[in-house]
Amino acid sequence: MSAGSRRHDGSRRIEGIVSDFGGVLTSPLVDSFVGVLDPSGVTFEELGKAMAALTEREGSNPLFELETGRLSETRFLGSLSDELSARRGSRVRLDGFGERYFRHLEPNQPVIDHMRGLRDRGYRLAICTNNVREWEARWRAMLPVDEIFDVVVDSAFVGARKPEPRIYEITLERLGTPPEATLFIDDVEINCRAAQELGMAAIHFRTTDQAIEAIEAALSS
């Protein structure tokens, strides 16, 4: 596929494909959170309230700080553990959170295989992920990242996270494709909307079959 190729109607053909990591190339993230929280008895509602309290007190969302590399995993888990403990009146320990989280996360092999096939067909591929600096080795070990993807943009290393425009701009710059020739896939709808606002086509991942079908439709339409 030549750079700058256009369809008969003048629109750009897709040349690059950008995929999220967690929830697209893996099993649903909610399954991992459930697996991590179940032993502690902490509910999603409690977790959300604790995060909201920390955000109000600190003036910034600690998760956002974690995912942009401005806050370490140790400090994040320590603050969250203290807040949950104060609210519950008993000690909540989140030590080993990352290890337990990845123990419940599985590769989405059909999507990974499809991405490999897209690379073989000549498309340039990127991963754009909101992630944690200390987790890089764990998530990269889940799939043959460098065999399939030309570019990896990790929020924790570039200091910007989805849906901030800058992380999309960095991804496009490194991938070398213009937004109108790039397809974006993510399981979070607001991230897809942000990509569309920059001119990319976007697919909101809901299920594996739906996403693969939508990818092929976008490439052939």
From first to last of its 221 residues, the chain has per-residue pLDDT tens of 333 455 544 467 999 999 999 999 999 998 888 888 877 788 889 999 999 999 999 999 999 999 999 999 999 999 999 999 999 999 998 888 899 899 999 999 999 999 999 999 999 999 999 999 999 999 999 999 999 999 999 999 999 999 999 999 999 999 999 999 999 999 999 999 999 999 999 999 999 999 999 999 999 97
Q: 47: which residues sit within 8 A by CB, 6+ positions away?
A: 37, 80, 84
Q: Are 185 and 215 in contact (CB under 8 A)?
A: yes
CB contact set of 145 (below 8 Å; sequence gap of 6+): 127, 152
Closest CA to 129 of 77, 180, 187, 81: 187
Instruction: Label residues 182-220 b or e (16+ Cβ within 10 Å = b).
Output: bbbbbbbeebbebbeebebbbbbbeeeeebbebbeeebe
pLDDT value at position 3? 39
The CATH code that applies to domain 16-27+106-220 is: 3.40.50.1000
* Terminal Cα distance for the chain, rounded: 15
Looking at the DSSP assignment, which residues form a beta bridge with residue 170? none
pTM for the whole structure: 0.92
Query: Which two structure tokens, joined as six digits, stand for 61?
Result: 């969302």
